[in-house]
Structure formats: structure tokens, C-alpha cells
Structure 1
Amino acid sequence: MPSGEHSPLLLSMRGVRKVYPSGTVALSGVDLRVGAGEVVGLVGANGAGKSTLIKVLSGAVPATDGAIEWEGASQAWAVPADAQAAGVATVYQHIPLAHTLTVIENVFLGRTGWRRSSVKLERELAQLLERIGYAIDPHATVEELSIGQRQMVAILQGIAQGARLLVLDEPTASLARGEREVVFEAVRRLSKSGTAVLYVTHFLDEILDLTDRVTVLRDGRVVADDVTDDLTEDALVRSIVGRELLRVEQQEIDLPPADAPLLLEVEDLRSGDRLQGVSLRLRAGEIVGIAGLLGSGRSELLHAIFGADPDARGTVRMEGRELSRSPRAAVAAGLALVPEDRGKQALFPDFEIWRNASITDLPTLSRGRALPDSERERERARDAIRALKIKAPGPDALVGELSGGNAQKVVFAKWMYSGARVFLLDEPGSGIDIGAKADIVELVRELARSGAAVLVADSEFSELLAVSHRVLVLRRGRVVAERASGATSDHELVGLASGLEKEMQHAA
């Protein structure tokens, strides 16, 4: 790949500031440069300003101050169409495709008269596919595609618009390992053909493998801009978190006593072909991990325990009492669910922090347990902001304006004051930075120390080992192995979860 030192400068952003009407300072004089054909990594903790910088670059929000130059000429893009016309294409984490249209219709969306020149467009699509080394049925509808295939369609859409700079926002966050490799190959090919890529991700191994140079944001400022070959992962993490190396390390976690109260019992839980007779037990103070690959039934298990799967059959008991199959009964019994898709399943993005944090405990915060008291709710939110280190101007900040890590902490705040004794966590570190992940890990440990039980599903097995007392391995809806965290490794768990290390299975 070309080095930014020797590539003609394509984009230069200097002194870019963004202050929102609420007073939130998202960017404090950011400089960013990208050379032609260069792959630049943009990293930083949640709330560091990455998303805002991307929005300013793509014309989605105006900068408060600063300058943007494109190929040496000053620019002031008022709307995203202006940036697209200049040659900037942005592929966001949540892929905005038309699901009922075909691949070719999405790639050339907005191209006038495309039906009258379908042969020409099919030829053009074939050239694009060859350019990035990818194959896909042009007439398949997007709703038929996997997440990875949709990601590639979005990339194709960007380069079909004539992009000279492709901005990829967390392109592999929801992808399986094989699908990630497809994206990596596309990035490498695009770079060789002269297209620049601004690569935004929390996966630092991807940054070190793919990029030519890395720009690090922290608290709205650039704190590092280095050639990737000169960096180590430790140095990169130190730049991101602004203190000594902070990693989620595997630690000795005190086991709960053998006679600790049994809080959760699950027996022969089934749901179609998704769950095939899962049984487990959790005691007070215990953290149990669920390790499984995509399609193993991780999320389905947690939702079934919580009563959110109407097809589930089996027995779920809380403190010896069998639960009826509904989320209402689960919450009343002391169960809490932190789902993977917090934006759709756990939060109200258009509501303030105080409304979200109090929604599970409104009777306690209401006058006479009937009339909501907004000031009590705000005070609860202030307590949560302090206790969980939520970065926000105050309780009136909209959850939809928070970074992923801070929004995740609001989900925890919602349950922490509800009297929950068993926490079901589905990918709690998904889409958040390493600093926020460390905060979440410490929060989980604190829940266990306080006597709660935690069942946590995570596709990052090293993170699972860092927080769990023991791990259950799930494959095709069945528990196929159990390991004490201190007696296994992420390598073994991957082998067990994939069925490649059956010979390693032994009685726990």
C-alpha cells in the first residue's frame, strides 16, 4: 500500500470544530489528511468524536469552524450529495440499502433510466466486482443476502458513484470471520487501484493489518497520527485511552462459595432447531459465559430464558419458583436482559437519559407509586451517570446522541436499580471501544461481588474468559462442553464451538 508521505494529498481537514446547540463539544480542532490510494485508520474511544468527524466529512452535519480541502481546493459541503459528487462515499455501520430491490438496483440506485440500459449496467457491475475480487448474483434481492453480502453491496454502491475516498464506518462489526476477510481483500484491492479508504473500527488488529497510517482521536482532539508500521498494539491502546495500557485481562476471580444460593435453574430449554435441550444453573455471585459462533443459539438462549421466545419449551426457575413464559414475569422475578441490539430492543433513542434509566422502576420514583416524579427520575439518572462514568452533559441528554459505550451503560443503569438479581448479557461489548469494554467488565464483576448472578454471551472468547468463572460452549443449540475459565483458552473454545476439537472435550 502507498504511504501517505508519498501519495498526492486528496483530503485535508484542518482545525475542524463541532459544538452542538446543547453545548456538547464533539470536535476541538481536528486535523485529518488522506492521500490518494492510502488506507488511513481512524480510531478512538466511544465519544472521542469519530462519528461526528465522519458526518462533517460526508456533508451530513456542518462544522462549527475549520477548513476542508479536497484536491487542494477549499470545500464547504452543505449536504451529503455535495460530498458524493466530489468523490466521497460513506458506508455506515447500519447499512441503508433498499431490501426489496436487487443487488444491481441498489448498486446503481438513483441512476436515471437504468432499466433501459440494464445490459450496460450489468457489464459495469461485473467490472466493479472484478475490481474488488468479489462475486454475487446481481439479481438477488438484498433481503435474501447475509449481513456480509449486504456490506459488500454498500461498498459497491459507493465505488459505483465514482468514489475516490471510501469511508468505512465499522465495516466488520457484525460480520463472521470469513466475511471479514472478504472486506479486507476489497480494501486492499481498492487501495492498489488508487481509491483512498478511511477505515473506522474498534478492532485494532484490523487497523494494524490493513492501514498505512493511523489517526487517533481522544475527547474530540487528535492525539496521535502515525505510520502504522511504527506502531504496536500496546502503543495504540495507550493513545486511545490516554493512560497506561488498559486491557481486559484474564484475572483470578473469587469463586462464590459452594453453598451460595441457587438463583437460576434452566432445564431442557428448547425452541425449534435453535435450542436443543439446554440446561444450566447459576448461583449468587457467579459469572457464567456462553461461548458460541454465529448461529449457535447464544442470543436465542438468553431471550428464551427471559420469556421473550413464545416458541420456547422447558423450565426456568428463579430461586426455586418456576416462571411463566413472559418478559413481565421474568422482570417481576428479578431477571434483567441486556440485548445485543440495544438501539431497538433496550433503549428509546429519542428519550433523555433520565427517562431511559428509570423506566423499569417508575413506581418507586412516582408519588404514591402512581404519579411519575421527573425530578426523582433525573436524580436517579445523575447517580447513574456518576456511578457508571457515563460521558454526557447531564440527565437531559438524548440517548440517541450518546456513543455506543455510553448508551450501553444507560442500558445497565436501567436494570441496576430495578432489584434484578440475575443479569442476562448478550454481547455487552459489541460496538464499543476498549476503554468502555473495561468499564463494562468491571461493572459485571461488581454485580457478581454484590451477590447477583450473570450469564453473558460473547463472540469474543478472550473477553469471555476475562470475566467468567466458567464457560459453557454452545454449538447448534446444544451445550457441548463446559470449562473453568482458568483451565482453558480462547483457542480451545473456538475449536470446541466450531466442532474442530471434539477430541478435547472431557468431563468438566
Structure 2
Amino acid sequence: MSEPILTVANMNKKFGSTVALNDVSLTVYPGEIRGLIGENGSGKSTVTSIVAGMQECDSGAMTFQGQSWKPLSMIDALHKGIGMIVQESGTIPGITVAENIFLAESEKYKNKFGLINRKKMNADATRVMKNIGVNDVTGEMLMQKLDFQTRKLVEIAKVVMKEPQILVIDETSTALSHDGREILYDIMNRFRKENKSVIFISHDLDEIMEVCDTLTVLRDGKIIRTFEKAEFEAGAIRASMIGRELQGDYYRSDFQASSQPEVALDVRNLVYEDRLKGISFQVHKGEIVGIGGLAHCGMHSLGKVCFGALKPEEGSVTVEDGTIIDSPAIAMKKRVGYVSKDRDVESLCLNASIEDNISIAGMSEFAINNFLILKNREKKYVNHQIEELSIKCAGRDQSVSQLSGGNKQKVVFGKWIGCGSEILILDCPTRGVDIGVKQAMYQLMVRLKNEGKSILMISEELPELIGMSDRILIMKNGEVSAEFERSETLSDAQIIEYMI
């Protein structure tokens, strides 16, 4: 066997009284795609962020290519050979694609008068995007005009163009739909062929078993086991992750579509730019309607229009009493909740507390005349959601920014469930959460369905759509290309041909 490219020895890290890493040792070899998996808070992102220069460990040692490794920052690490793509957004809005890609390198584009040659910078950025397989993004495009997936692809291109010897990918695939993931997998395979290494963090067990050569499981800041490819078995990996077998059903156990006759949400002839081209459907009480498709098919815009956050050029969205949903304020008044795919930007105020994030939508539940806030009632309201959803936190006053991805998502759910939402629009509801939290969210969705609540679930995960939906609508180029009823025999292969 070749010499390792990276070793991590006896690494420890605490955040206050919380032990994030406990004597972690790890070895990565050239030409290897090493998977890291574990529940939220297991230590995956902590160890990789230390390797990539984002933060320092409390104790332990690292070597990279045979030399002691102590990067001063992520930029320092990238220049020396280890680049990391972070879970949440790593790009800057308000500037162009080219300015994001060459943010720290604008000097090389200045002429003798100190003016930046933007034409050359834009052309180089366009070439960088094409080099990773993205042909429809140019350097002069503004970042805020791009969707969440495309912004993530810009971030990937920015790191890959530096040709690091190790590429760290932290939950990036959850931001990408089918075609975006194929681009990412091509990059990973290219690194393997070039005898470079990839450290790949994902909560998607099927994905990680497919693309990785080895798989290391972390739990409570410790390495539990490393699986070789020949040892990959879903049940054994899950048990290592959570320390027990998963109890109860993962997806729904019934295979009969069921709902009440009353229509909760009526979507008629929605037209929005080139993303929605006459979309019509209904969601009944007690029904989970799944929406699937590739990136740019229009499904994420559909969720925003249904919540009133985007105004359609034609068509309407109405609820049971005939009210037209044309703004988030009207949606909330009519008990419609919305969980955004871009959780940290659109669903949460990261610098605010758990209490503030949960209570903001529930004033009618604990305030007198929606004005006079009674702190004891607010405290009781928030504590109930924390307990109901098993949100792991130091207390309701803790900043949301300090929570793991799964617990952040639980806070978003708590915000909408606490205020009694009758209709929930869930855009990628389990993005970036671990297997245990996913199961809990699926069980919550079944409970809400059985209570007569209506769910519009937009998802890029076909197993999730098949496992949870009463009906699935597949979108392609802004239109509904197929509809599937819930069935025990429904498979990915039957659906995917209507997506591509």
C-alpha cells in the first residue's frame, strides 16, 4: 500500500463543555474516496474543518504529504493542497460569478492603470465553470440571479480550479439535484484517477455506499468503525452510526394512497417566467403530494409561488375558503407554512435564538391580540416545540447558528407546526439531516397527515418521494410531465425517464 497522503492522530476538540472530537485518528490514502458518515453532531464537519484550516484543534497532530500540517486558514490550506466545499453557502451575493471565483486574485487582472480587465476575468470564469461541466453559467452573471444549486456549483468550481491534492466535500450533494450530483461525481472520479483524494461527507447512505471506496463512521465525537468497500452493508452502517437498530418504519409502511375529499390547496394554471408553464393540481386534506424533477425544472419556484413569496404572471393558488394566496402574510394568516430548501437564508435567522425563530410565526398562539406578548406563555409555547421535536440544544435562548443541520431543521418545523399550520409546503425537508432525524421527520409527516394536515413535499430524492407521497407529480421544463399514484411496485426507473 502507498504512503498515506493525510494522517490525523489523537485529535481532540471541545466547544465549551461539549466534546466535539474525542481522540480521533484517521488515515487517508492517495486515489481514495473516503466517506465520513454519522448523525448530526457526530464530529464529521469538525474534523474536516480542522483539516481544511477553518479552525484549530485543542490537541492532536496532522501530517499532509509526509509533512506536519498546521494550516493558518482555509485559503492557506487551499493554496497548499487541501480545499473544502462547505455545507452551507460559500459564495457572496451582490457580485458576479467571476468576482466570486477570483475574489482574492483580482490583482492579476489589473492593468498598468490599476483598472480590472473584466472581459478577461469573465472569460476565465466562464472557462472555469465549463471545466467542471457547467456550460450555462458565465462570468458576468450576478450571484443573486442564480439558484441555490448553481451558486453551489460556482463554489465547487472555485475550489477545484486550484487543483488541490485533497478535496473535502461537506454535505454538498444535498444542495444539488440529479444533474448537479453527476457533475460532482465526475469531479470525484477525476480526482481518484489522478491519484488525488476526496473526503466525502453525506447523510445519504445509498449515495455514500455507491461513490466511496472506504467509509468511516463517527458517533459522539469518536470513530466507531471504518468499512472497506467489500464490507458495505446498510444495516451494519446504520447500527454503527446510531449505536442501535432503527426502530419502527423509515418511510411510510402503507402502500395505499389516502386522503380526504376536501381540497386544501388548489393550484390553477400557474405561469412564472420560464419556470412554470401552466401548472395545475390540487392537494387534499390528509394528503402528501410529492413534487420531483431535475434542477431548473421549476419545482422550487412552485413552492415559493404557493406560499406567496413569488407572484405568478398568470394563475392562482387558493385555499379551502377561496382565499387567494398572493403573499406570505396571507399564507400565514390562512395557516400555510413553508420550509425553504435554502434553510439558513430563507427559513431561519441564524443570529437569533431558538425561541425567537420558533415564536415569530406563533404570535396568535401566545400573544394577546397579536400584540401583548406574555413571556411565560411564549416560554411554554417554545419549550413545547423543543420537547415535541426533540431539539438538541442548551436551551431556548441558544443561538440557532450553534445548532447542527438536523436541529436547525427541527427549529424550522417547530415554527410552522407550533402555530397550527394546516398546509405545509416542504422544499427538500430532510436536506442535510442524518438518518435518525430523517426517520423522525418522516414519522412526523405521517402524524400530520393522519391529523388531516396537507403536505406539498418538493424533493430531489426519489426514494423519499416514493416512500412518503400519496401522489407524485414530476416536473420537466416548467411543466408536469407525469403523475404517479402511491404503489408498492413504483421504482426510480419508472419515474426518472420523465425527468430527463
Structure 2 residue aligned with 1:489:
491
Kindly report which structure 2 residues correspond to 1:337-486, keeping only aligned pairs within 5 A, or say none.
Answer: 337-366=338-367, 369-486=370-487
For residues 339 and 82 of structure 1, do their structure 2 counterparts lie closer, same or farther at Cα, with a shift above 3 Å needed?
Answer: closer
- Take 1:413 and 1:138, find their aligned partners in 2: how far apart are those partners? 37
Report the residue type matching 1:184 in the other structure. Answer: Y
Task: Tell whether 2:38 aligns with 1:44.
Answer: yes
1:103 is displaced (CA, Å) by 5.5
Deviation at 1:202, TM superposition (A): 2.7
- Asked if the contact 2:252–2:446 (Cα under 8 Å) also holds between the matched residues in 1, the reply is no
CA 1:494–1:382: 2 relative to 1, 3 Å: same
Name the CA distance, whole Å, in 2 between partners of 1:147 and 1:334: 27
Give the aligned partner of residue 4 of structure 2.
9
How far apart are 1:445 and its partner, in Å? 0.6
Cα distance in 2 for partners of 1:304, 1:465 equals 24
Q: Deviations over 1:380-430 (max 9, x none)?
A: 332222211222222222212222221111111001121211111111122
How has the CA–CA distance of structure 1 residues 464 and 159 changed in structure 2, closer, same or farther, with 3 Å as cutoff? closer
Point out the more displaced range, 228-237 or 241-250: 241-250
Deviation at 1:158, TM superposition (A): 4.0
TM-score relative to the length of structure 2: 0.84
Classify the secondary structure of the residue corresponding to 1:439.
helix
Residue number in structure 2 paired with 1:251: 253
SS in 2 for 1:9: coil
Q: CA deviation at 1:342?
A: 1.4
Kindly tell me: are residues 372 and 28 of structure 1, through their superposed partners in 2, closer, same or farther at Cα, counting changes over 3 Å? farther
Match of 1:91 in 2: 85
Q: AA paired with 2:494?
A: E
Aligned to 1:66: 60
1:20 to 2:21 alignment: no
Bigger mean CA offset, 470-479 vs 76-85: 76-85
**Superposed displacement of residue 257, structure 1:** 6.1
The residue type paired with residue 490 of structure 2 is: T
Structure 1 position 93, deviation (Å): 3.6
Moved more, 221-230 or 349-358: 221-230
Number of corresponding residues? 486
Residue in 1 that maps onto 2:192: 191
- How far apart are residue 313 of structure 1 and its match? 3.1
> What is the identity, as a one-letter code, of the residue corresponding to 2:382?
A
CA root-mean-square deviation: 3.5
Q: Percent identity?
A: 30
Query: Which AA in structure 2 matches 1:28?
Result: N
The code of the aligned residue for 1:43 comes to I
- Aligned residue runs from structure 1 range 286-297, under 5 A: 286-297=287-298
Contact kept? 1:108, 1:160, Cα under 8 Å: no
Unaligned runs of 5+ in 2: none
Give the superposition deviation at 1:284.
2.2
**1:53-452 → structure 2 map (5 Å cutoff):** 53-84=47-78, 86-94=80-88, 96-97=90-91, 100=95, 106=101, 109-110=104-105, 113=108, 140-141=139-140, 143=142, 154=155, 157-158=158-159, 161=162, 163-244=164-245, 248-252=250-254, 256=258, 260-323=261-324, 325-366=326-367, 369-452=370-453
Paired with 2:166 and 2:141, the residues of 1 have a C-alpha distance of 24
Q: Distance in 2 between matches of 1:271 and 1:114?
A: 39
Q: Deviations over 1:124-143 (max 9, x none)?
A: x99x98xx886979984464
Structure 1 residue 368, shift from structure 2 partner? 6.6
Of stretches 476-485 and 425-434 in structure 1, the one that deviates more from structure 2 is 476-485
Further displaced range: 481-490 or 426-435:
481-490
Q: What letter is aligned with 2:23?
A: G
Q: What is the SS of the residue equivalent to 2:223?
A: strand
Cα distance in 1, alignment partners of residues 134 and 304 from structure 2: 35
Change (3 A) 1:32 1:450: same
Superposed CA offset, 1:181-224 (max 9, x none): 33323323323333222122233344334333221112222111
Q: Which amino acid aligns with 2:197?
A: A
The 1:282/1:95 distance shift into structure 2, 3 A limit, reads closer
Query: Once the two structures are superposed, what CA deviation does each residue of 1:17-58 show, in whole Å capped at 9, x if it has no partner?
Result: 22213x333222222222234321112222222222222222
Q: Letter of the aligned partner of 2:211 in structure 1?
A: L
Give the secondary structure class of the aligned counterpart of 2:365: coil
TM-score, normalising length from structure 1? 0.83
1:104/1:139 contact within 8 Å kept = no
Query: What is the deviation of 1:449?
Result: 1.2
CA contact (8 A) 1:304 1:312 kept: no
Task: Check whether the contact 2:149–2:295 (CA below 8 A) recurs between aligned residues.
Answer: no
The separation in 2 between residues aligned to 1:465 and 1:397, in whole angstroms, is: 36
Q: AA paired with 2:200?
A: Y
Separation (CA, whole Å) in 2 of partners of 1:216 and 1:25: 17
